[in-house]
Structures are given as C-alpha cells and as structure tokens.
Amino acid sequence: MAHIRLPSANVGASECRNNEEHAFILENLGSPLVQFIADFISARIFRMAHMVQCAKLGREAEGLDEAPFDSPLGQRIYESVSKQAWADWQNHMKMLLNEYRLQPWKKEHQDFIVQQMEQYFFGSGGEAPEGYKPPEQ
C-alpha cells in the first residue's frame, strides 16, 4: 500500500492542492473510518472565518456564522455585519426593549425593533431614547 501524506491541521487552505489528498483517500481507501478521518481533517483545514466589510464598524471583521433570520434583511446582515457589531446590537436592543417597555410578541413592537435594527446597522445609527441614562458600572 502506498504511503499517503495527509494535510496537517496547521496547513492553510491556500497551501492545499484543491483537496486532492482528501479525494485520493476517499477513492482508494473508501472505508467509513477513513472517510470520517478525511472529512474531519478537511473540515479543520478549510473552515475559515467568514469575513465581512462591517457596515457598522467601517472595517473588515469576522462575520456571523449564519444569517440571523430568514429574510432579505437577515441575508443583508449576514453579508455586511460583524459578530462584534451584532453583539453590540443585542445590547442596544435590550436597552430598547426595557426603555420602551416593548413586548416582542406584538407585531407593532416587532416592526419597531426591525426599523431600529436597520437604522442601527445601515442608517444613522442607534440612538438611545430621550432622557435615557445608562446604568452606572
């Protein structure tokens, strides 16, 4: 049996030859265990961070792992909002929910949250309600 050089976990995707090693293993040694190992190695090598030009931060940053919801707005957020900006939005949204005493199960409150989300990421930004005083640390 020929020796097979597996890509190491430290090899970057740009250093691999279009996954040739993975294909060779599957074609020539197709046992389930070998397939599992090849898939595992391949997943570790080719999983790269989803980078976006973040609309909120104004710089390139790691994007979300998946769209936050199934809609054109969810897809737009996936394509142009970073994980950091999303975490900041969640904190801002909590403040909005509390200050405006929003009830997220009500349609008009959901619409308000979506409007605020669009403003936060793609508009003039998220403004705090008039008279809002952040809690002291």
CATH number at residue 77: 1.10.3880.10
Answer yes or no: are the C-beta atoms of 38 and 27 closer than 8 Å: no
Residue 62 lies in a domain: yes
Burial class (CB in 10 A: 0-12, 13-18, 19+), 88: middle
Output the pLDDT for position 1.
Answer: 46
Q: Are residues 65 and 117 in the same domain?
A: yes
pLDDT beneath 50: ranges in the chain? 1-16
Output the pLDDT for position 13.
Answer: 44
Beta strands in the chain (DSSP E): 51-53, 60-62
Output the pLDDT for position 10.
Answer: 45
Show the domain range for 92: 51-122
Q: Are residues 55 and 42 in the same domain?
A: no
Output the pLDDT for position 132.
Answer: 83
Output the pLDDT for position 24.
Answer: 64
Predicted TM-score (pTM) of the model is 0.64
What total number of domains does the chain contain?
Answer: 2
Which DSSP symbol is given to 130?
Answer: T
Output the pLDDT for position 6.
Answer: 47
Residue 20 lies in a domain: yes
Q: Collapse the DSSP code of 26 into the 3-class scheme (helix H, G, I; strand E, B; otherwise coil) and give the result.
A: helix
Output the pLDDT for position 131.
Answer: 83
